[in-house]
């Protein structure tokens, strides 16, 4: 036995002991080495017990008609992808989507990458559990922020993103999307007495290590106030939901009710009724971004939705506009998706007379329509577009870049229009315009001093902050950190790196590497970087050279490990000692670490083809760490 204080993390050995004692091993446990896989297709799987959907109601009156004198449980109806898990001998053996209820898709490998699914449980007989696979709102926003950083179209909602993430051929995509599973039904088990209580099933699932949907006990006396409680808490809930589920607590009685051809009779879903209101479309605002993408935004007569005034809604892209057949003056209906994001529900007029602008609304330069898969998007082709400049400057000063407070987009636009700022480096010379700035409307001595103080504070920065701030296509905050770390936080090394050098960095493909090198070798960009480095003082990362025994060496890790909790632990050790860990084998790889040198994996084949040595982790320790 051992004691772990609050806030203290258990060691790997302690964690293994707890897992052995409880029989519960979660998918995100550091003791697991569940590798990602790539499959050629997603296979269909037949459900032994049909995965029925629930009958739905949209009014409180229907709920009141359904509920009688019995006890019920009302739970959150998560908005994601319904998924069934099957366990045998305590191990997860199958995961499948609901599909049409009879046939689903086999996503077993993908489910093993979910953040919270138990891979092993203490119950050893056959167990079937239904639940919802979801991506939380905060993860959804982080993923979209990264998409925008890289100049890519963001995803529309967590449900669609989750559905696409779970159905990928490459399960590593699932692993990177932070998909989670929330159980909502124990479908079948053997020899467990739940005392005929639905709540006891939930409690049992919790004890096995499952996260379950949020639920409350209700009857006819408190059903209305409980629904109101859930409705009031939805905006603060991080889990996407589209309603509630009402289920009989009496399991036997619920089963005795049987089912229709489509629905079981022991439960009913109460769908949130999105408040929809009609209004008139007055204008389409075309808003350019720093990447040149021009986003359409609907402007309509102000309406009150869910207690707030709404007059704007994103139209996402040209394809979306065309599908709605929009025209100025059309009668449209608007709602808040998940009671948060304004969306156009329907175009009642469908005049379809909207003209896509042929010139950029900011610079007057020609626009062009680009097709990405089935989606049309509008771009400004003028590389010197002022909107691109303003958005680029706004990106330069944001928190994850140079972190300069006080320079809002409106302030930047004003300073640019007055000629105070023409390039990034001019921000560090704004003191030249002190008198003019302090005399501007809305500014004063205090505002000026705050801006200058924030600018001066940004002069002490990490190199990756600058690399992110430059707005290199495909390089956001995360990639900037990877890039700088790979080149020892040395700007000169980064500037002289080749496409092959950058491609060897994990997460940097050849296309991205080519774009980075092209940016770094452009004469104008080189001049800008040189001017900026004169204004900045990069924070040095002090490294004890005596510990850098792996300096100049690059390793690739594949397969399962014996002496390390996971690959990240071994990777951290290599990097701490000055080495690099790449995602793919190349001519510059020092060695491929693989405990199975005889496997026919693609990395083994590539290593043999290039003459790269394949070593076990024990050989690695003996050769490089002894």
**What are the residue numbers of the active site?**
77
**360 secondary structure, DSSP code:** -
Q: Encoding tokens for residue 568?
A: 């990240």
Q: Encoding tokens for residue 457?
A: 């504070």
- Kindly tell me the burial class for residue 309, based on how many C-beta atoms sit within 10 Å of its own C-beta (0-12, 13-18, 19 or more): exposed
Query: CB-based contacts of 561: which residues, under 8 Å, 6+ apart?
Result: 33, 567, 570, 595, 617
Cα(502)–Cα(515) distance, integer angstroms: 10
**Cα torsion 400, 401, 402, 405: sign:** negative
* Number of CB atoms found within 10 A of residue 384's CB: 8
Residue for token pair 């603060």: 236
Cα(323)–Cα(343) distance, integer angstroms: 14
Contact present, 84 and 183 (Cβ < 8 Å) = no
Contact present, 317 and 375 (Cβ < 8 Å) = yes
3-state secondary structure 207-267: HCCCCECCEEEECCCCHHHHHHHHHHHHHHCCCCEEEEEEEECEHHHHHHCCECCCCECCE
Cα(48)–Cα(73) distance, integer angstroms: 26
Cα(557)–Cα(371) distance, integer angstroms: 38
Q: What angle do CA 291, 297, 300 make, to 5 degrees?
A: 165
* Number of CB atoms found within 10 A of residue 362's CB: 19
Backbone dihedral angles phi then psi of residue 221, each to the nearest 5 degrees: -80, -30
For the chain, the maximum distance between any two Cα atoms, rounded to a whole number of angstroms, is 83
| Torsion angle, alpha carbons of 151, 156, 158, 163, to 10 | -100
């Amino acid at each position: 036995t051992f004691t772990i204080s609050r806030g203290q993390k258990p060691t790997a050995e302690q964690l293994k002991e707890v897992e052995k004692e409880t029989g519960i091993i979660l998918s995100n446990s550091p003791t697991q080495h569940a590798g990602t896989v790539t499959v050629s297709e997603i296979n269909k799987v037949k459900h032994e017990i049909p995965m029925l959907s629930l009958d739905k109601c949209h009014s409180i009156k229907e709920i009141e008609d359904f509920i009688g004198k019995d006890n019920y449980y009302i739970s959150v109806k998560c908005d994601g992808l319904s998924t069934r898990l099957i366990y045998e001998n305590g191990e997860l053996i199958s995961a499948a989507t609901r599909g049409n209820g009879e046939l689903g898709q086999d996503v077993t490998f993908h489910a093993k990458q979910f953040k919270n699914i138990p891979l092993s449980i203490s119950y050893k007989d056959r167990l079937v559990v239904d639940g919802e696979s979801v991506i939380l709102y905060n993860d959804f926003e982080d993923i979209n922020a990264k998409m925008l950083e890289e100049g890519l179209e963001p995803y529309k909602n967590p449900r669609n993103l989750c559905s696409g993430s779970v159905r990928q051929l490459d399960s590593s995509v699932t692993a990177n999307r932070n998909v989670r599973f929330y159980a909502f039904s124990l479908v079948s088990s053997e020899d467990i007495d739940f005392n005929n209580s639905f709540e006891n099933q939930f409690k049992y699932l919790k004890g096995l290590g499952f996260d379950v949907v949020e639920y409350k006990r209700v009857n006819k006396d408190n059903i209305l106030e409980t629904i109101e409680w859930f409705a009031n808490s939805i905006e603060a809930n991080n889990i996407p939901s589209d309603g509630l589920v009402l289920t009989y607590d009496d399991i036997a009685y619920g089963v005795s009710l049987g089912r229709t051809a489509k629905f079981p009779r022991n439960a009913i879903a109460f769908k949130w009724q999105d408040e929809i209101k009609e209004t008139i479309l007055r204008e389409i605002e075309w808003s350019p971004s720093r990447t040149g993408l021009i986003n359409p935004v609907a402007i309509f007569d102000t309406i009150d939705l869910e207690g707030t005034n709404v007059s704007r809604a994103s139209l996402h892209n040209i394809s979306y506009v065309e599908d709605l057949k929009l025209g100025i003056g059309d009668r449209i209906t608007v709602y808040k998706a998940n009671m948060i994001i304004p969306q156009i529900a329907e175009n009642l007029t469908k005049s379809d007379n909207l003209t896509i602008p042929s010139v950029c609304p900011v610079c007057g330069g020609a626009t062009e329509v680009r097709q990405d898969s089935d989606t049309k998007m509008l771009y400004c082709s003028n590389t010197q577009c002022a909107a691109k400049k303003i958005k680029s400057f706004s990106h330069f000063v944001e928190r994850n870049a140079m972190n300069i407070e006080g320079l809002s987009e409106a302030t930047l636009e004003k300073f640019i229009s007055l000629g105070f700022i023409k390039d990034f480096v001019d921000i560090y010379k704004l003191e030249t315009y002190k008198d003019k700035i302090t005399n501007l409307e809305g500014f004063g001595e205090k505002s000026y001093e705050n801006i200058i103080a924030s600018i001066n504070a940004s002069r002490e920065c990490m190199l990756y902050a600058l690399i992110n701030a430059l707005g290199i296509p495909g390089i956001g905050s995360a990639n900037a950190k990877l890039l700088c770390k790979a080149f020892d936080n040395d700007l000169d090394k980064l500037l002289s790196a080749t496409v092959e050098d950058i491609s060897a960095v994990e997460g940097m493909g050849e296309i991205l590497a080519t774009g980075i090198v092209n940016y770094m070798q452009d004469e104008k960009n080189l001049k800008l970087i040189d001017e900026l480095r004169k204004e900045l003082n990069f924070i040095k990362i002090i490294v004890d050279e005596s510990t850098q025994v792996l300096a100049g060496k690059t390793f690739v890790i594949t397969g399962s490990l014996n002496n390390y909790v996971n690959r990240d632990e071994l990777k951290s050790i290599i990097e701490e000692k000055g080495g690099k860990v790449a995602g793919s084998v190349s001519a510059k790889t020092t060695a491929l670490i693989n405990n199975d040198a005889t496997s026919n994996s693609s990395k083994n084949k590539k290593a043999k083809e290039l003459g790269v040595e394949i070593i076990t982790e024990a050989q690695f320790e003996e050769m490089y760490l002894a």
